[in-house]
Amino acid sequence: MPGRIVKGFSDTQLRQHFWLGSFFALCSAIAFALNLCFARIAYDHGANLHALNGFRSLVFLLYLVLVVTASRQSISIPSKDKIISLFLGVLLCGEMYALLTAILFIPVALAILVMYTYPMMIAVYGWVSGRNNFSYLAAFMLLIAFAGLFVALDNSTTSFSGRGMVFAAFAAIALATMLLLSERVLAKNDNNVVMLYMLIGTCLIVALLSATIVDLDWPESIMGWTAFCASAVFYVLATFLLFKAVNLIGPLHTAIIDNTSPVWAIGFSFLLLNQTLRPMQITGAIIVVCAVILLQWTNRPAQT
């Protein structure tokens, strides 16, 4: 499997893992986009980001507790992996709040664009560290996908803030680091157990913030609560599938497909929020999707 060393699997199983992981990554990107759209609706009906982040983190934690309990899995993992898993939760929380802080200083489109440079960070890290073989075609397609993303997210704005760019860049670094670290831990431990410790770390940070320096504002209407709960469900689904994809196809291929999430957000914003798409945005979306499909096809496991 490209970019991963997988032992004990036949070529057929490797191909199945590749396409299943790619499907999980795509579903994760779509679910994350839906999460953002429903979050926007929840905000419009009185909720704030602190209440939403706390609620969806708690929902995810409870879900994992139920899954682990129902399957009677042992939650015992090596101390080092437990610490890394808790740290992954801190990174998840940091990435989340860094991006939300960035949009206070720069346009949302620019913040998302900066954050979604993280697949390029993972690709460069893989080439520099020797974990992945350098490919001119892969590098070219990454640049094409990034260019398409830039076109799709263009808001024709000149607003700029160095502080906002720094926060958005930190969100990208945190997400790239989280995916790279999670691959190593997931390879040795059960996915659900790793994510359980991860969400414990996230919930501890969110609980500390909620109890000290932030206020929680809840939805004020049925529509608000519906969107609030839907955002939490899609967030849990997106995060769960993201780590399933990392475990199957590695962080690089997962990141490449996840890079389509802003494009899906544009489409769902049109359907759910009645936001009009410009021809340039549609062109950029087509470029990103085509680049991702071609890159995944050229990097599929070879048949024997």
211 CB neighbour count, 10 Å cutoff: 8
Please state, in angstroms and rounded to a whole number, the distance separating the CA atoms of residues 2 and 14: 10
Q: Express each pLDDT in 107-155 by its tens digit.
A: 666 677 777 778 778 778 877 887 767 778 877 887 887 788 777 766 5
- How many percent of the chain have pLDDT more than 70? 85
Q: What is the mean pLDDT of residues 88-109?
A: 77
Lowest-pLDDT range, 4-18, 30-44, 278-292?
4-18
- How many percent of the chain have pLDDT more than 90? 13
279 CB neighbour count, 10 Å cutoff: 7
Please state, in angstroms and rounded to a whole number, the distance separating the CA atoms of residues 287 and 148: 5
- pTM value is 0.75
Say which DSSP state 120 is in.
H
What is the torsion angle, in degrees rounded to the nearest 10, for the CA atoms of residue 227, residue 228, residue 234 and residue 237?
Answer: -150
Q: Which amino acid belongs to residue 186? A: L
User: Which pLDDT score is estimated for 230?
Assistant: 94
End-to-end CA distance of the chain: 13
* Of 272, 141, 123, 201, nearest in space to 264 by CA: 272
Can you read off the two tokens belonging to residue 70? 């129902």
Alpha-carbon distances, residue 132 vs 5, 140, 217 (angstroms): 10, 15, 45
Contact (CB, 8 A) for 58 and 229: no
Q: Express each pLDDT in 216-239 by its tens digit.
A: 899 999 999 999 999 889 988 988
Neighbouring residues of 62: CB distance < 8 A, sequence distance ≥ 6: none
User: Which pLDDT score is estimated for 237?
Assistant: 92
3-state secondary structure of 267: helix
Contact (CB, 8 A) for 173 and 121: yes
Contact (CB, 8 A) for 212 and 39: no
